[in-house]
Structure 1
Amino acid sequence: MRTAYRHHGGNFDIVISCDNSIPHLLIDEDILSTLKQMYSCLRPGDGCLITIRNYDREQRTDKNIVKPYGKAKIENDKRYVALQVWDFDETNFHHYDFTLYIIEEDLKSKNIVIHAMRSLYYAISSDKLIKLMNDAGFINVNRLDECFYQPVFIGIRPFT
């Protein structure tokens, strides 16, 4: 994302960044730089579409926040259950350590293996993302709700 224009050039109808990829960028400057790259990839009059978690609804004052992740799945005699644990940084509550636990249960032997994958996220607010999109040059920036399971943000590269 940070080098989208350098790698892909311009003339695109739409640039898409979905499923919470933007919050992997941990500071406003990196997000703004990425949005400028996305802007540069577009033809005038065309658009950018971004989806992120609805961080405006999240309680950011705690650690050990447990969230479900999908449904249990059975495949090849194994059951898989996933859950997330969020640990917010107590200094500013804008960042959180994310751990995705995958519990793998062998239904025949009853053995259980737990896999843990970790990342750090920026719980960027809608207002902040909209401001950064505007700062990158996009116009008509809007947040759309209830059309996807995450808020959708759209912006247009102006003709001039």
Structure 2
Amino acid sequence: MKDTSLYFYNELSETYHLIFKNWPETVQWQGAFFDKFIRSLYAEGHEGPIDLLDASCGIGTQALGLAQHDFTVTATDISPNSVERAKREADKFGVHVHFGVADFRTLDKDVPGQFDVVLSADNAVPHLLDDQELSVACRNFYEKLRDKGLLIISMRDYDEILQNRQRSTLPRVMDEGKRIVFQVWDWAEAGNHYITNQFIMQELDGSWKTEVNSTSYRALLRTELSAILEEAGFTDIRWHMPSESGFYQPILTARKL
């Protein structure tokens, strides 16, 4: 399947916040969540700010929230339009973040230095559609971490989704019925790949406007990602399920020792 993620996020950059009921509140919540989550696993005995690379920052949903806590944040994304939007949002939030454009597959060349934590949240890694791309990205995550550094990845629960090849998400109705958001998934006939069609419908000035953007994903099983991370050199690979963590997606953590 064609890599469509760059076009998808460039086109969605100005309306991405509409996927959330209240995006600024989501930024605050995710910042507080990941601050607590990271410190529970990494920062015991750590003095001073934590250097963190958000390697799929989008418009800043995680990066901006973490910058409000004691983190020195570098935030990159494959989409230049999303990074520009994130810069504007950082000014509104009054936080300082080092921004850049970078691809998982060339992260070793695109981003200088190493970090205490590398984060990729909200199902970005499954945009890598084959094992070769995924292996390159995981090696780059490893290279970007300092010794004893922590990798954090969140993604959809594809182990559950593949049991019945889910076809859509339930519509979420917001703004007193004036905004509806949902996805329709078109599965490939063979393999665990699908196209997400993201619908954002809004009533504006008495008429409805519909925006549809599409991108490709791999329905990545937890065992598949864990095996590739182990090959890249990571240890202590763990999965934290929503019932345990309180986050809305499974979270993987792994360490560079």
TM-score class, shorter: 0.7 to 0.9
TM-superposed deviation, 1:66? 2.0
Greater alpha carbon shift after TM alignment, 54-63 vs 147-156: 54-63
**Deviation by residue 1:120-156 (Cα, 9 ceiling, x = unmatched):** 1001001101111111110011111121111110111
Deviating 4+ runs (over 2 angstroms): 59-63, 68-71
Q: What is the aligned partner in structure 1 of residue 168 from structure 2?
A: 66
SS in structure 1 at match of 2:211: strand
Q: What is the aligned partner in structure 2 of residue 102 from structure 1?
A: 200
From 137, 155, 158, the counterpart of 1:55 = 158
Evaluate the alpha carbon distance shift between residue 59 and residue 43 of structure 1 in structure 2; reply closer, same or farther with a 3 A threshold: closer
Distance 2:236 2:182 in 1: 37
TM-superposed deviation, 1:61? 5.4
From 218, 226, 239, the counterpart of 1:143 = 239
Q: What is the aligned partner in structure 2 of residue 20 from structure 1?
A: 123
Evaluate the alpha carbon distance shift between residue 103 and residue 142 of structure 1 in structure 2; reply closer, same or farther with a 3 A threshold: same
Distance 1:115 1:11 in 2: 39
Give the TM-score normalised by structure 2: 0.55
**Deviation by residue 1:83-102 (Cα, 9 ceiling, x = unmatched):** 1001111112x100110111
Evaluate the alpha carbon distance shift between residue 18 and residue 70 of structure 1 in structure 2; reply closer, same or farther with a 3 A threshold: farther
Percent identical pairs in the alignment equals: 26
Structure (1/2) with the larger strand percentage: 1
Distance 1:18 1:62 in 2: 22
Structure (1/2) with the larger helix percentage: 2
Q: Structure 1: give runs of 5+ residues left out of the alignment.
A: none
TM-superposed deviation, 1:69? 5.5
* Higher Rg: 1
SS in structure 1 at match of 2:105: coil
Q: How many residues are paired up?
A: 151
**Larger RCO (CA within 8 A; separation ≥ 6):** 1
Report whether the alignment pairs 1:154 with 2:246: no
Answer whether contact 2:162 2:219 (CA < 8 A) is retained.
no
Counterpart AA for 1:120: S
Distance 1:69 1:131 in 2: 35
Distance 1:51 1:62 in 2: 20
Give the TM-score normalised by structure 1: 0.86
Answer whether contact 1:66 1:83 (CA < 8 A) is retained.
yes
Counterpart AA for 1:68: L
SS in structure 2 at match of 1:3: helix
Greater alpha carbon shift after TM alignment, 51-60 vs 22-31: 51-60
Distance 1:128 1:19 in 2: 18
Evaluate the alpha carbon distance shift between residue 60 and residue 112 of structure 1 in structure 2; reply closer, same or farther with a 3 A threshold: farther
